[in-house]
Amino acid sequence: MAGLKFCGEDWFKQHGHNDQEIKRITSGVQSVDKIIEKDHENNWVLAKITQTDGNHALGIRWFWNKSGFPNRSGWGVWLVINKSMAKVFCNNSHIKEFAES
């Protein structure tokens, strides 16, 4: 399996400021194309990814504990947010209200 193993909270503290290091977490995806947002206080990253089928999506990953979330047997993977789900996040007034509260 390609990518990085055990990229949790300690890994993020050491490497989280380097987008190129985060882009090396490629297990389960073809590539991590762009880091869109990082939250160092809450240890998460939102990225544009290319899935193994060539489709683009958003990926989110939390860096906590030893392996972070999501992970597969300790290997860092991305939670995939496809385009139809991303549209809901962008256009849903309830989500916007929650985010702004």
SS3 of 93, please? Answer: helix
- Max intra-chain CA distance, the chain: 41
Give the C-alpha separation, 55 to 69, whole Å.
22
For the chain, 101 residues long, give each residue's pLDDT as a single digit of tens: 567 888 899 999 999 999 999 999 999 899 999 999 999 999 999 999 999 999 999 999 999 999 999 999 989 999 999 889 988 988 888 888 888 88
Six token digits for residue 86? 């991303």
Angle at 40 between CA 38 and CA 41, to 5 degrees: 130
- DSSP code, position 13: H
pTM beyond 0.85: the answer is: yes
What local confidence, expressed as pLDDT, does residue 1 receive?
Answer: 54
What is the distance of C-alpha 5 from the center of its chain? 15
Measured from the Cβ of residue 47, the count of other Cβ atoms closer than 10 Å reads 23
Measured from the Cβ of residue 58, the count of other Cβ atoms closer than 10 Å reads 18
What local confidence, expressed as pLDDT, does residue 33 receive?
Answer: 97
